[in-house]
Copies of this chain bind each other. A is one copy, B any other.
Amino acid sequence: MEQSLINELKNIVGEQHTLTDRESLAVYGYDSTPELESCPGAVLLPGCTDEIARIMRLCHGAGVSVTARGSGTNLSGGSISDNRGVVLQTSRLNRIIEVDEENLTATVEPGVITSVLHREVESRGLFYPPDPGSMNISTMGGNVAENSGGLRGLKYGVTADYVMGLETILADGDLLRTGGKVVKDVAGYSLSPLLVSSEGTLGIFSAITVKLIPKPQAKITMLAHFPVLQDAALAVSAIIAARVIPATLEFLDKVTIKCVEDYAHVGLPLDVDAVLLIEVDGHPAVIAEEAAAVEGICGKHRCSFFQTAQNADEALKLATARRTALSALARLKPTTILEDATVPRSCIAAMLQVIQASAKKYNVTIGTFGHAGDGNLHPTCLTDERDKDEIRRAHAAFEEIFDAAISMGGTITGEHGVGLAKKKYLPRLVGESGIRAMRGIKQAFDPKGILNPGKIF
């Protein structure tokens, strides 16, 4: 990157917020995706909307790419910049601008940590449901750019279901305001939902208004042990078919259970094929009925043990089992490839069979956990990127898994995004007309292609 451009960028954000030393550039060249890295030209930490706009105007003029980045928890390479591009790091933009209790909305800057927003609104009896696995470090900007899911998605939906308004800086530095605090708005094309999950390729969010809901009054946390994997999968379908929609309906397989128990010592059973973590929340009278229904269904599906948390500590311990799954698995081998193939929930049992068969066929270790109630599984390959042959086999297994997901009417990514890692699979899913429509939108928003280039397609 030319020194004259770096000097102009320093003039915008200040010298102390412009990182160009070798160590910083190396650190910001990674995110949480294995096998991918880059070397950005500069890392900028703007402090306000106007600075983002000025950065974009300057980079637009110079034809330099800009990749927005929160905490870098992305799992598809979506926050890895171009070589010699600008990384726009949002950590200084971390203000909760407003919690509007009358309209049940919160407006935040993009660098606000997800769980910080949770705590703030919950202290007022309100609730922001999206809770991605990385919520203690992930940022709201990243959540919106990727349309993050989470453990409560089954009942409450994903980030897109809560974004009401966005303030977005476009490629040329112009400000675009979409939506707001109105709960109904059909004035022209729905741009906010398009910007959500656009992976930083259409604009950079400077303010985000999300919907809040009343905080559920109570919660019951349950854990069911299943000696046979398929029984757990069938229990998931049966719970939904019984018209019970738990807040959380999570699955852990044997590989994951063992890793979690070794890591967190929460008392998981080592002799079963799968466990389900189930949480129902809402009015006490309702959840008592729902919990009884869940216990009955698990029993009918040959669960060997059913545990209901008796207090908040026990509930937290059970939930921890699921929350630590990725960290626990990641300890086993140097490289963890975490995927998120997603199928209609009726196909969960079939999908689990495909995952097991592919792991066996290609002789790789895959632990599977995830949001079973959403049909959103996380087959996680434990490998070592220095072992080229094993990596090749891992990718072959995932290719089979993705193709199976597509053939079941599913998708290649339920919540991690396409980024760099899944570009290859997108055309198989959306077809030529889908790619053409997406490229047309990209061209309309960013004709010079400077916003997070190379992602999605």
Contact = CB atoms under 8 A, between A and B. Distances in A.
Interface of A: 100-104, 125, 146-147, 149, 153-154, 158, 160-161, 170, 174-178, 180-191, 193-194, 196-198, 202, 213-214, 237, 240-241, 243, 245, 282-283, 285-286, 289, 342-346, 371, 374-376, 409-418, 422, 426, 429-431, 433-435, 437-438, 440-441, 443-445, 456-457
Contacts of A186: 146-147, 197, 411, 413-418
Nearest to A414: B184
A336 to B, nearest CB: 20
A444 B434 contact: no
Given A104-B240, A178-B430, 15 more contacts: A102-B240, A175-B433, A177-B434, A182-B414, A184-B411, A185-B411, A186-B413, A187-B429, A189-B198, A189-B441, A191-B438, A193-B193, A193-B194, A282-B286, A443-B444
A437 B178 CA distance: 11
Contacts of A237: 102
24 contacts: A100-B344, A161-B161, A176-B434, A177-B430, A182-B342, A182-B409, A183-B375, A184-B374, A184-B414, A184-B415, A186-B416, A187-B413, A188-B418, A188-B430, A189-B194, A189-B197, A190-B193, A282-B286, A283-B285, A283-B289, A285-B285, A437-B445, A440-B443, A441-B444
A406 to B, nearest CB: 10
Given A186-B413, A186-B416, A440 B444 contact: yes
A346 B176 CA distance: 24
B430 A160 contact: no
B345 A193 contact: no
A344 B187 contact: no
Among A186, A285, A289, find the residue whose CB has the most chain B CB atoms closer than 10 A. A186
A289 to B, nearest CB: 8
Contacts of A412: 187
B184 A376 contact: yes
A160 B285 contact: no
Nearest to A344: B181
A170 B374 CA distance: 30
A414 B187 CA distance: 7
A252 B302 CA distance: 55
A183 B245 CA distance: 13
Given A160-B193, A434-B176, A343 B188 contact: no
A194 B190 contact: yes
Given A104-B240, A182-B375, A285-B283, A430 B187 contact: yes
B376 A187 contact: no
Contacts of A431: 176-177
Contact of A437 (B176, B289, B417): B176
Contacts of A202: 189
A134 to B, nearest CB: 15
Highest count of chain B CB atoms <10 Å: which of A175, A184, A202, A433: A184
A177 B436 CA distance: 12
A103 B344 contact: yes
Nearest to A432: B174
Given A170-B433, A185-B411, A441-B441, A180 B344 contact: yes
Contacts of A102: 237, 240-241, 345-346
Give me the 9 closest cross-chain CB pairs, A-B, nearest first: A440-B444, A193-B193, A214-B243, A285-B285, A184-B414, A181-B344, A102-B346, A185-B411, A283-B286
A444 B443 CA distance: 8
A376 B237 CA distance: 38
A170 B241 CA distance: 35
Contact of A444 (B245, B415, B444): B444
A441 B184 CA distance: 22
A183 B441 CA distance: 24
